[in-house]
Chains A and B, each alone.
Chain A
Amino acid sequence: MVIGGQNGSGKTTLCRHLNGLLNPTSGEVLLNGESIQKDIRKTRQTVGMVFQNADMQIVGETVYSDISFGPENLSLPRDEINNRVDAAINDVGLTALRDHKPHTLSGGEKRKLAIAGILVMLPRVIIFDEPFSNLDYPGSRQVLKQIINLHRTGHTIIIITHELEKVIAQADRLVVMQRGRIVQSGSPAGIIMDVEQYGIRMPCSVKLGKGVVSWLD
Protein backbone atom coordinates (compact mmCIF):
# COMPACT_ATOMS: atom_id res chain seq x y z
CA MET A 1 0.00 0.00 0.00
CA VAL A 2 1.24 3.46 -0.83
CA ILE A 3 0.26 6.46 1.27
CA GLY A 4 0.77 9.69 -0.64
CA GLY A 5 0.32 13.33 0.22
CA GLN A 6 2.13 16.63 0.17
CA ASN A 7 4.41 17.75 3.01
CA GLY A 8 2.51 18.23 6.25
CA SER A 9 -0.46 16.11 5.15
CA GLY A 10 0.01 13.76 8.14
CA LYS A 11 1.50 10.68 6.45
CA THR A 12 4.37 10.21 8.91
CA THR A 13 2.16 11.00 11.90
CA LEU A 14 -0.32 8.35 10.77
CA CYS A 15 2.37 5.74 10.37
CA ARG A 16 3.91 6.50 13.75
CA HIS A 17 0.56 5.54 15.22
CA LEU A 18 0.73 2.13 13.58
CA ASN A 19 3.54 0.84 15.79
CA GLY A 20 2.72 2.85 18.87
CA LEU A 21 5.36 5.56 18.59
CA LEU A 22 2.53 8.07 18.91
CA ASN A 23 -0.71 7.60 20.81
CA PRO A 24 -4.04 8.76 19.38
CA THR A 25 -5.85 11.49 21.32
CA SER A 26 -9.12 9.73 20.48
CA GLY A 27 -10.00 6.29 19.16
CA GLU A 28 -7.57 3.40 19.02
CA VAL A 29 -5.34 1.58 16.55
CA LEU A 30 -6.11 -2.11 16.15
CA LEU A 31 -3.71 -4.82 15.05
CA ASN A 32 -5.29 -8.24 14.40
CA GLY A 33 -8.40 -7.00 16.20
CA GLU A 34 -6.55 -5.91 19.36
CA SER A 35 -5.38 -2.50 20.51
CA ILE A 36 -1.72 -2.02 19.68
CA GLN A 37 -1.18 -0.57 23.17
CA LYS A 38 -2.13 -3.90 24.78
CA ASP A 39 1.32 -5.35 24.13
CA ILE A 40 3.47 -2.58 22.70
CA ARG A 41 6.60 -4.72 22.47
CA LYS A 42 4.77 -7.33 20.40
CA THR A 43 3.29 -4.55 18.25
CA ARG A 44 6.73 -3.14 17.49
CA GLN A 45 8.01 -6.60 16.58
CA THR A 46 5.03 -7.17 14.27
CA VAL A 47 5.05 -3.69 12.69
CA GLY A 48 8.57 -2.58 11.78
CA MET A 49 9.34 0.94 10.65
CA VAL A 50 12.12 2.10 8.34
CA PHE A 51 12.63 5.82 8.91
CA GLN A 52 13.19 8.50 6.30
CA ASN A 53 16.69 9.30 7.52
CA ALA A 54 18.57 6.00 7.57
CA ASP A 55 21.53 7.64 9.34
CA MET A 56 19.34 8.38 12.34
CA GLN A 57 18.19 4.78 12.55
CA ILE A 58 21.71 3.40 12.73
CA VAL A 59 22.93 2.89 16.27
CA GLY A 60 25.67 0.28 15.88
CA GLU A 61 29.36 0.75 15.20
CA THR A 62 29.32 -1.98 12.56
CA VAL A 63 26.71 -3.36 10.18
CA TYR A 64 26.48 -6.51 12.29
CA SER A 65 26.15 -4.75 15.66
CA ASP A 66 23.52 -2.39 14.27
CA ILE A 67 21.35 -5.24 13.03
CA SER A 68 21.69 -7.04 16.36
CA PHE A 69 20.41 -3.97 18.26
CA GLY A 70 16.73 -5.01 17.98
CA PRO A 71 17.04 -8.65 19.12
CA GLU A 72 19.35 -7.54 21.95
CA ASN A 73 16.53 -5.29 23.13
CA LEU A 74 14.28 -8.36 23.21
CA SER A 75 16.82 -10.04 25.56
CA LEU A 76 17.14 -13.00 23.22
CA PRO A 77 19.94 -15.53 23.83
CA ARG A 78 23.18 -14.70 22.00
CA ASP A 79 22.94 -17.77 19.69
CA GLU A 80 19.44 -16.80 18.59
CA ILE A 81 20.58 -13.23 17.97
CA ASN A 82 23.49 -14.43 15.83
CA ASN A 83 21.20 -16.70 13.79
CA ARG A 84 18.65 -13.95 13.20
CA VAL A 85 21.30 -11.39 12.27
CA ASP A 86 22.95 -13.82 9.83
CA ALA A 87 19.58 -14.46 8.16
CA ALA A 88 18.66 -10.75 7.93
CA ILE A 89 22.07 -9.68 6.66
CA ASN A 90 21.84 -12.39 4.01
CA ASP A 91 18.30 -11.36 3.01
CA VAL A 92 19.37 -7.80 2.20
CA GLY A 93 22.66 -8.86 0.60
CA LEU A 94 25.03 -7.13 3.01
CA THR A 95 26.93 -10.26 4.09
CA ALA A 96 30.18 -9.01 2.57
CA LEU A 97 29.87 -5.74 4.54
CA ARG A 98 29.03 -7.22 7.94
CA ASP A 99 32.12 -5.75 9.68
CA HIS A 100 32.02 -2.43 7.86
CA LYS A 101 31.22 0.82 9.63
CA PRO A 102 27.73 2.02 8.66
CA HIS A 103 28.94 5.51 7.68
CA THR A 104 31.10 4.01 4.93
CA LEU A 105 28.05 2.51 3.17
CA SER A 106 26.31 4.09 0.18
CA GLY A 107 22.83 5.59 0.55
CA GLY A 108 21.16 2.45 -0.84
CA GLU A 109 23.23 0.18 1.41
CA LYS A 110 22.37 2.27 4.46
CA ARG A 111 18.68 1.91 3.62
CA LYS A 112 19.22 -1.86 3.26
CA LEU A 113 20.92 -1.87 6.65
CA ALA A 114 17.92 -0.10 8.15
CA ILE A 115 15.68 -2.75 6.54
CA ALA A 116 17.83 -5.57 7.95
CA GLY A 117 17.57 -3.95 11.39
CA ILE A 118 13.80 -4.33 11.09
CA LEU A 119 13.77 -7.77 9.39
CA VAL A 120 15.75 -9.24 12.26
CA MET A 121 12.72 -8.61 14.52
CA LEU A 122 10.67 -10.91 12.23
CA PRO A 123 7.92 -8.37 11.46
CA ARG A 124 4.83 -9.10 9.40
CA VAL A 125 4.21 -5.49 8.42
CA ILE A 126 6.97 -3.09 7.35
CA ILE A 127 6.40 0.66 7.02
CA PHE A 128 8.78 2.67 4.86
CA ASP A 129 8.81 6.41 5.46
CA GLU A 130 10.00 8.11 2.25
CA PRO A 131 12.27 5.16 1.30
CA PHE A 132 13.69 6.90 -1.76
CA SER A 133 14.61 10.26 -0.26
CA ASN A 134 18.27 11.25 -0.74
CA LEU A 135 18.88 8.26 -3.00
CA ASP A 136 20.23 8.37 -6.53
CA TYR A 137 18.71 6.31 -9.35
CA PRO A 138 20.70 3.08 -8.70
CA GLY A 139 20.08 3.44 -4.95
CA SER A 140 16.33 3.89 -5.50
CA ARG A 141 16.23 0.80 -7.73
CA GLN A 142 18.18 -1.21 -5.13
CA VAL A 143 15.71 -0.28 -2.41
CA LEU A 144 12.70 -0.87 -4.66
CA LYS A 145 13.92 -4.38 -5.54
CA GLN A 146 14.39 -5.07 -1.84
CA ILE A 147 10.87 -3.90 -1.06
CA ILE A 148 9.44 -6.13 -3.80
CA ASN A 149 11.38 -9.12 -2.43
CA LEU A 150 10.01 -8.45 1.02
CA HIS A 151 6.48 -8.35 -0.37
CA ARG A 152 7.06 -11.64 -2.20
CA THR A 153 8.22 -13.26 1.05
CA GLY A 154 4.88 -12.49 2.65
CA HIS A 155 5.39 -9.11 4.33
CA THR A 156 2.72 -6.45 4.21
CA ILE A 157 4.39 -3.29 2.93
CA ILE A 158 3.22 0.26 3.60
CA ILE A 159 5.14 3.00 1.80
CA ILE A 160 4.83 6.67 2.63
CA THR A 161 5.91 8.88 -0.21
CA HIS A 162 5.12 11.97 -2.20
CA GLU A 163 7.02 10.53 -5.18
CA LEU A 164 4.43 8.11 -6.59
CA GLU A 165 6.47 7.72 -9.75
CA LYS A 166 8.97 5.32 -8.21
CA VAL A 167 6.63 2.86 -6.57
CA ILE A 168 3.09 3.18 -7.89
CA ALA A 169 3.54 0.37 -10.44
CA GLN A 170 4.04 -2.12 -7.59
CA ALA A 171 1.22 -0.84 -5.35
CA ASP A 172 -2.06 -2.69 -4.82
CA ARG A 173 -3.67 0.25 -3.08
CA LEU A 174 -3.13 4.00 -3.02
CA VAL A 175 -4.21 6.20 -0.14
CA VAL A 176 -4.03 9.98 -0.52
CA MET A 177 -3.89 12.23 2.54
CA GLN A 178 -4.51 15.93 2.93
CA ARG A 179 -4.47 17.99 6.14
CA GLY A 180 -4.45 14.89 8.35
CA ARG A 181 -7.33 13.13 6.59
CA ILE A 182 -7.65 10.40 3.99
CA VAL A 183 -9.20 12.01 0.93
CA GLN A 184 -8.81 9.18 -1.58
CA SER A 185 -8.33 5.45 -1.22
CA GLY A 186 -8.50 2.73 -3.83
CA SER A 187 -6.70 1.02 -6.66
CA PRO A 188 -3.88 3.16 -8.10
CA ALA A 189 -5.35 2.95 -11.61
CA GLY A 190 -8.66 4.29 -10.33
CA ILE A 191 -7.39 7.42 -8.57
CA ILE A 192 -4.02 8.23 -10.15
CA MET A 193 -5.61 10.81 -12.48
CA ASP A 194 -6.89 12.83 -9.49
CA VAL A 195 -3.75 13.04 -7.37
CA GLU A 196 -2.46 16.42 -8.59
CA GLN A 197 -5.34 18.26 -6.92
CA TYR A 198 -3.88 17.04 -3.59
CA GLY A 199 -0.39 18.35 -4.28
CA ILE A 200 1.14 15.09 -5.52
CA ARG A 201 2.80 14.95 -8.90
CA MET A 202 1.23 12.51 -11.33
CA PRO A 203 3.77 9.97 -12.67
CA CYS A 204 5.41 11.15 -15.86
CA SER A 205 4.43 8.03 -17.79
CA VAL A 206 0.75 8.61 -16.92
CA LYS A 207 1.00 12.22 -18.11
CA LEU A 208 2.47 11.01 -21.38
CA GLY A 209 -0.41 8.56 -21.78
CA LYS A 210 1.75 5.45 -21.34
CA GLY A 211 0.01 4.35 -18.17
CA VAL A 212 1.81 3.29 -15.00
CA VAL A 213 5.39 2.16 -15.76
CA SER A 214 7.66 0.45 -13.23
CA TRP A 215 11.03 1.97 -12.35
CA LEU A 216 12.51 -1.48 -12.71
CA ASP A 217 11.54 -1.86 -16.38
Chain B
Amino acid sequence: MAGLNVFVRDRQRRFIDQIDIRCKLLLFVCLNIASLNTGVTGLTILSCFITGIFFYQRIGLRSAFREIRFFLILLIFVFFTRSISLPGRVIYEFGWITISIEGVYNGALFCWRLLTVVFLAIVLMRTSSTMEIKSAIQWYLKPVPAVPEKRIAIMLSLMIRFLPMIIEEAREVGDAQRSRGVESRKNPIYRISTFAIPLITRIFKSADELAYAMESRCFSENRTDPELHIQTHDLFALVIGIVLCCVIFLS
Protein backbone atom coordinates (compact mmCIF):
# COMPACT_ATOMS: atom_id res chain seq x y z
CA MET B 1 0.00 0.00 0.00
CA ALA B 2 0.95 3.61 -0.58
CA GLY B 3 1.29 4.27 3.10
CA LEU B 4 4.03 1.75 3.56
CA ASN B 5 6.82 3.67 1.89
CA VAL B 6 9.22 6.03 3.63
CA PHE B 7 7.68 9.17 2.16
CA VAL B 8 4.47 8.78 4.13
CA ARG B 9 3.97 10.37 7.50
CA ASP B 10 4.56 8.09 10.45
CA ARG B 11 2.67 9.72 13.30
CA GLN B 12 4.83 9.36 16.38
CA ARG B 13 5.04 11.49 19.48
CA ARG B 14 8.75 12.16 19.20
CA PHE B 15 10.52 15.51 19.46
CA ILE B 16 10.82 16.12 15.71
CA ASP B 17 7.14 15.24 15.11
CA GLN B 18 6.10 17.86 17.62
CA ILE B 19 8.18 20.75 16.27
CA ASP B 20 5.95 23.46 14.78
CA ILE B 21 5.78 22.87 11.04
CA ARG B 22 6.85 26.46 10.24
CA CYS B 23 10.11 25.98 12.22
CA LYS B 24 10.58 22.56 10.62
CA LEU B 25 10.10 23.91 7.11
CA LEU B 26 12.44 26.83 7.78
CA LEU B 27 15.13 24.47 9.07
CA PHE B 28 14.58 22.18 6.09
CA VAL B 29 15.18 25.08 3.68
CA CYS B 30 18.19 26.37 5.67
CA LEU B 31 19.81 22.93 5.84
CA ASN B 32 19.28 22.48 2.09
CA ILE B 33 20.88 25.83 1.35
CA ALA B 34 23.76 24.99 3.68
CA SER B 35 24.25 21.60 2.02
CA LEU B 36 24.45 23.22 -1.41
CA ASN B 37 27.16 25.62 -0.25
CA THR B 38 29.46 23.40 1.73
CA GLY B 39 32.32 20.97 1.20
CA VAL B 40 33.19 17.48 2.35
CA THR B 41 33.40 18.38 6.07
CA GLY B 42 30.01 20.10 6.07
CA LEU B 43 28.38 17.27 4.16
CA THR B 44 29.90 14.74 6.56
CA ILE B 45 28.44 16.63 9.54
CA LEU B 46 25.05 16.89 7.79
CA SER B 47 25.07 13.20 6.81
CA CYS B 48 25.83 12.19 10.41
CA PHE B 49 22.97 14.44 11.57
CA ILE B 50 20.54 12.94 9.06
CA THR B 51 21.62 9.39 9.95
CA GLY B 52 21.03 10.21 13.62
CA ILE B 53 17.53 11.48 12.84
CA PHE B 54 16.80 8.35 10.80
CA PHE B 55 17.72 6.16 13.78
CA TYR B 56 15.86 8.42 16.23
CA GLN B 57 12.71 8.40 14.07
CA ARG B 58 13.13 4.69 13.29
CA ILE B 59 13.21 5.26 9.54
CA GLY B 60 14.92 2.33 7.84
CA LEU B 61 17.99 3.48 5.88
CA ARG B 62 17.84 0.37 3.73
CA SER B 63 14.18 0.89 2.86
CA ALA B 64 14.89 4.57 2.15
CA PHE B 65 17.61 3.61 -0.34
CA ARG B 66 15.27 1.01 -1.86
CA GLU B 67 12.52 3.61 -2.32
CA ILE B 68 14.85 6.04 -4.08
CA ARG B 69 16.60 3.42 -6.23
CA PHE B 70 15.46 5.09 -9.46
CA PHE B 71 16.80 8.39 -8.20
CA LEU B 72 20.11 6.66 -7.44
CA ILE B 73 20.31 5.59 -11.10
CA LEU B 74 19.88 9.26 -12.02
CA LEU B 75 22.65 10.17 -9.57
CA ILE B 76 24.99 7.62 -11.17
CA PHE B 77 24.25 9.18 -14.54
CA VAL B 78 24.92 12.69 -13.13
CA PHE B 79 28.16 11.46 -11.54
CA PHE B 80 29.34 9.91 -14.80
CA THR B 81 28.42 13.03 -16.81
CA ARG B 82 30.28 15.30 -14.39
CA SER B 83 33.30 12.98 -14.34
CA ILE B 84 33.77 13.14 -18.09
CA SER B 85 32.72 16.73 -18.67
CA LEU B 86 35.00 18.61 -16.27
CA PRO B 87 38.60 19.31 -17.33
CA GLY B 88 41.51 18.46 -15.01
CA ARG B 89 44.12 15.81 -14.32
CA VAL B 90 43.19 12.80 -16.41
CA ILE B 91 42.99 9.46 -14.59
CA TYR B 92 41.41 7.41 -17.38
CA GLU B 93 41.15 7.88 -21.12
CA PHE B 94 39.20 5.83 -23.65
CA GLY B 95 38.80 7.34 -27.09
CA TRP B 96 37.13 10.71 -26.69
CA ILE B 97 36.08 9.96 -23.11
CA THR B 98 38.43 11.33 -20.46
CA ILE B 99 37.77 11.08 -16.74
CA SER B 100 39.47 13.68 -14.55
CA ILE B 101 40.16 13.69 -10.80
CA GLU B 102 38.41 17.06 -10.52
CA GLY B 103 35.41 15.66 -12.40
CA VAL B 104 35.13 12.64 -10.13
CA TYR B 105 35.49 14.81 -7.00
CA ASN B 106 32.98 17.37 -8.26
CA GLY B 107 30.51 14.71 -9.39
CA ALA B 108 30.71 12.84 -6.09
CA LEU B 109 30.19 16.05 -4.12
CA PHE B 110 27.25 17.09 -6.29
CA CYS B 111 25.56 13.67 -5.93
CA TRP B 112 26.19 13.69 -2.19
CA ARG B 113 24.51 17.09 -1.93
CA LEU B 114 21.46 15.90 -3.88
CA LEU B 115 21.28 12.80 -1.73
CA THR B 116 21.23 14.87 1.48
CA VAL B 117 18.45 17.02 0.02
CA VAL B 118 16.36 13.90 -0.70
CA PHE B 119 17.02 12.45 2.76
CA LEU B 120 16.08 15.74 4.43
CA ALA B 121 12.85 15.68 2.39
CA ILE B 122 12.17 12.15 3.64
CA VAL B 123 12.58 13.37 7.24
CA LEU B 124 10.23 16.30 6.60
CA MET B 125 7.56 14.16 4.93
CA ARG B 126 7.89 11.38 7.48
CA THR B 127 7.37 13.75 10.41
CA SER B 128 4.74 16.15 9.00
CA SER B 129 1.32 15.80 7.44
CA THR B 130 0.69 17.25 3.99
CA MET B 131 -1.92 19.58 5.45
CA GLU B 132 0.62 20.91 7.96
CA ILE B 133 3.15 21.49 5.18
CA LYS B 134 0.45 23.22 3.17
CA SER B 135 -0.41 25.48 6.10
CA ALA B 136 3.24 26.40 6.64
CA ILE B 137 3.81 27.23 2.96
CA GLN B 138 0.64 29.31 3.02
CA TRP B 139 1.83 31.11 6.17
CA TYR B 140 5.20 31.99 4.60
CA LEU B 141 3.71 33.12 1.29
CA LYS B 142 0.92 35.21 2.82
CA PRO B 143 2.94 38.46 3.18
CA VAL B 144 4.25 38.20 -0.40
CA PRO B 145 2.14 40.49 -2.58
CA ALA B 146 0.49 39.22 -5.80
CA VAL B 147 1.18 35.59 -4.91
CA PRO B 148 -1.89 33.30 -4.64
CA GLU B 149 -0.53 31.63 -1.51
CA LYS B 150 -3.48 29.27 -0.95
CA ARG B 151 -3.37 27.96 -4.52
CA ILE B 152 0.39 27.43 -4.46
CA ALA B 153 0.21 25.74 -1.05
CA ILE B 154 -2.53 23.38 -2.22
CA MET B 155 -0.63 22.51 -5.42
CA LEU B 156 2.49 21.68 -3.40
CA SER B 157 0.59 19.69 -0.80
CA LEU B 158 -1.16 17.68 -3.55
CA MET B 159 2.22 16.95 -5.13
CA ILE B 160 3.43 15.63 -1.79
CA ARG B 161 0.19 13.68 -1.39
CA PHE B 162 0.69 12.07 -4.79
CA LEU B 163 4.33 11.05 -4.39
CA PRO B 164 3.73 7.87 -2.32
CA MET B 165 0.87 6.92 -4.64
CA ILE B 166 3.11 7.26 -7.72
CA ILE B 167 5.81 5.16 -6.08
CA GLU B 168 3.24 2.51 -5.23
CA GLU B 169 1.84 2.53 -8.77
CA ALA B 170 5.39 2.19 -10.14
CA ARG B 171 5.99 -0.79 -7.86
CA GLU B 172 2.79 -2.50 -9.02
CA VAL B 173 3.53 -1.91 -12.71
CA GLY B 174 7.08 -3.22 -12.17
CA ASP B 175 5.81 -6.35 -10.38
CA ALA B 176 3.23 -7.01 -13.10
CA GLN B 177 5.90 -6.74 -15.79
CA ARG B 178 8.38 -8.92 -13.93
CA SER B 179 5.68 -11.57 -13.53
CA ARG B 180 5.45 -11.59 -17.33
CA GLY B 181 9.20 -12.00 -17.77
CA VAL B 182 10.20 -8.46 -18.77
CA GLU B 183 13.67 -9.14 -17.35
CA SER B 184 14.44 -11.31 -20.35
CA ARG B 185 14.24 -8.21 -22.58
CA LYS B 186 17.62 -6.50 -22.49
CA ASN B 187 16.74 -3.42 -24.56
CA PRO B 188 16.52 -0.56 -22.01
CA ILE B 189 14.43 1.66 -24.33
CA TYR B 190 11.85 -1.11 -24.74
CA ARG B 191 11.78 -1.69 -20.99
CA ILE B 192 11.47 2.00 -20.15
CA SER B 193 8.66 2.54 -22.68
CA THR B 194 6.69 -0.54 -21.59
CA PHE B 195 7.10 0.59 -17.98
CA ALA B 196 6.34 4.30 -18.50
CA ILE B 197 3.20 4.03 -20.62
CA PRO B 198 1.07 1.96 -18.20
CA LEU B 199 2.50 3.90 -15.25
CA ILE B 200 1.54 7.28 -16.70
CA THR B 201 -1.91 5.96 -17.67
CA ARG B 202 -2.49 4.70 -14.13
CA ILE B 203 -1.23 7.93 -12.57
CA PHE B 204 -3.64 10.00 -14.65
CA LYS B 205 -6.54 7.66 -13.86
CA SER B 206 -5.74 7.78 -10.14
CA ALA B 207 -5.44 11.56 -10.28
CA ASP B 208 -8.84 11.74 -11.95
CA GLU B 209 -10.46 9.54 -9.31
CA LEU B 210 -8.83 11.45 -6.48
CA ALA B 211 -9.98 14.74 -7.98
CA TYR B 212 -13.57 13.45 -8.17
CA ALA B 213 -13.41 12.18 -4.58
CA MET B 214 -12.02 15.48 -3.31
CA GLU B 215 -14.53 17.50 -5.29
CA SER B 216 -17.43 15.45 -3.93
CA ARG B 217 -16.21 16.36 -0.45
CA CYS B 218 -16.45 20.08 -1.29
CA PHE B 219 -12.71 20.62 -1.75
CA SER B 220 -11.83 24.30 -1.81
CA GLU B 221 -8.87 26.58 -1.31
CA ASN B 222 -10.45 28.22 1.72
CA ARG B 223 -10.19 25.45 4.27
CA THR B 224 -9.93 25.26 8.01
CA ASP B 225 -6.20 24.84 8.43
CA PRO B 226 -4.47 23.04 11.31
CA GLU B 227 -3.87 25.32 14.28
CA LEU B 228 -0.23 26.36 14.47
CA HIS B 229 1.43 27.31 17.77
CA ILE B 230 5.05 28.10 18.45
CA GLN B 231 6.20 26.85 21.85
CA THR B 232 9.48 26.83 23.76
CA HIS B 233 10.65 23.52 22.30
CA ASP B 234 10.10 24.88 18.77
CA LEU B 235 12.37 27.84 19.48
CA PHE B 236 14.93 25.49 21.03
CA ALA B 237 14.87 23.32 17.88
CA LEU B 238 15.12 26.42 15.70
CA VAL B 239 18.21 27.72 17.55
CA ILE B 240 19.93 24.31 17.44
CA GLY B 241 19.06 23.96 13.74
CA ILE B 242 20.36 27.39 12.82
CA VAL B 243 23.62 26.79 14.71
CA LEU B 244 23.98 23.51 12.81
CA CYS B 245 23.33 25.30 9.50
CA CYS B 246 26.03 27.88 10.32
CA VAL B 247 28.52 25.11 11.22
CA ILE B 248 27.76 23.26 7.96
CA PHE B 249 27.86 26.46 5.93
CA LEU B 250 31.21 27.58 7.35
CA SER B 251 32.89 24.14 7.21
Bitwise, A195-217 to B at CB < 8 A (1) or not (0) is: 00000000000000000000000
Q: Which residues of A contact B183 (CB under 8 A)?
A: none
Q: Are A59 and B212 in contact (CB under 8 A)?
A: no
Q: Which residues of B contact A9 (CB under 8 A)?
A: none
Of the listed stretches A96-104, A131-139, A142-150, chain B binds: A96-104
Give the shortest distance, in Å, between A142 (CB) and chain B (any CB).
20
Q: Which single member of A45, A51, A76 contacts B213 (CB below 8 Å)?
A: A51
Q: Which residues of A contact B216 (CB under 8 A)?
A: 19, 21, 44, 48-49, 51
Q: Are B209 and A53 in contact (CB under 8 A)?
A: yes
Q: CB within 8 Å of A: which of B84-110?
A: none
Residue A73 lies at the interface, judged by CB distance under 8 Å to chain B: yes
Q: Are B210 and A117 in contact (CB under 8 A)?
A: no
Q: CB within 8 Å of B: which of A23-46?
A: 41, 44-45
Residue B8 lies at the interface, judged by CB distance under 8 Å to chain A: yes
Q: Are B224 and A77 in contact (CB under 8 A)?
A: yes
Q: How far is the CA of A121 from the CA of B219 in the complex (A)?
A: 12
Q: How many residues of A contact B (CB 8 A)?
A: 36
Give the shortest distance, in Å, between A71 (CB) and chain B (any CB).
7
Residue A78 lies at the interface, judged by CB distance under 8 Å to chain B: yes
Q: Are A102 and B3 in contact (CB under 8 A)?
A: yes
Q: Which residues of A contact B218 (CB under 8 A)?
A: 41, 44-45, 70, 73-74, 121
Q: How far is the CA of A49 from the CA of B218 in the complex (A)?
A: 11
Q: Are B212 and A69 in contact (CB under 8 A)?
A: no
Q: CB within 8 Å of B: which of A61-107?
A: 61-62, 65, 69-78, 81, 99, 101-104
Q: Are A56 and B206 in contact (CB under 8 A)?
A: yes
Q: How far is the CA of A46 from the CA of B120 in the complex (A)?
A: 43
Residue A124 lies at the interface, judged by CB distance under 8 Å to chain B: no
Q: Which residues of A contact B58 (CB under 8 A)?
A: none
Q: Which residues of B contact A118 (CB under 8 A)?
A: 217
Residue B1 lies at the interface, judged by CB distance under 8 Å to chain A: yes
Residue B184 lies at the interface, judged by CB distance under 8 Å to chain A: no
A-B pair number, CB within 8 angstroms: 77
Q: Are B213 and A75 in contact (CB under 8 A)?
A: no
Question: Which of chain B's residues has its CB closest to A45's CB?
Answer: B218
* A121 with B3, Cβ < 8 A, contacts A62-B11, A65-B131, A78-B227 known: no
Question: Which of chain A's residues has its CB closest to B209's CB?
Answer: A56
Q: Which residues of A contact B9 (CB under 8 A)?
A: 61
Q: How far is the CA of A78 from the CA of B45 in the complex (A)?
A: 42
Q: Are A72 and B223 in contact (CB under 8 A)?
A: yes
Question: Which of chain B's residues has its CB closest to A69's CB?
Answer: B217
Q: Which single member of B1, B224, B227 contacts A103 (CB below 8 Å)?
A: B1
Give the shortest distance, in Å, between B140 (CB) and chain A (any CB).
20
Q: Which single member of B11, B213, B217, B220 contacts A99 (CB below 8 Å)?
A: B11
Give the shortest distance, in Å, between B152 (CB) and chain A (any CB).
18
Residue A141 lies at the interface, judged by CB distance under 8 Å to chain B: no
Q: Which single member of A57, A61, A78, A99 contacts B224 (CB below 8 Å)?
A: A78
Q: Counting chain A CB atoms within 10 Å of each CB, which of B11, B212, B217, B227 scores highest?
A: B217
Q: CB within 8 Å of A: which of B101-138?
A: 129-131
Q: Which residues of A contact B166 (CB under 8 A)?
A: none
Q: Are B209 and A75 in contact (CB under 8 A)?
A: no
Q: Are B11 and A75 in contact (CB under 8 A)?
A: no
Q: Which residues of B contact A49 (CB under 8 A)?
A: 216
Residue A151 lies at the interface, judged by CB distance under 8 Å to chain B: no
Residue B192 lies at the interface, judged by CB distance under 8 Å to chain A: no
Q: Are B209 and A51 in contact (CB under 8 A)?
A: yes
Residue A16 lies at the interface, judged by CB distance under 8 Å to chain B: yes
Which residues of B line the A interface, CB within 8 A? 1-4, 8-9, 11, 129-131, 161, 206, 209-210, 212-220, 222-225, 227
Which residues of A line the B interface, CB within 8 A? 16, 19, 21, 41, 44-45, 48-49, 51, 53, 55-57, 59, 61-62, 65, 69-78, 81, 99, 101-104, 117-118, 121
6 A-B pairs (CB sep. < 8 Å): A48-B216, A51-B213, A56-B206, A72-B223, A78-B224, A99-B11
Shortest beta-carbon contacts, A-B, top 7: A103-B3, A103-B1, A56-B209, A70-B217, A57-B213, A73-B218, A72-B224
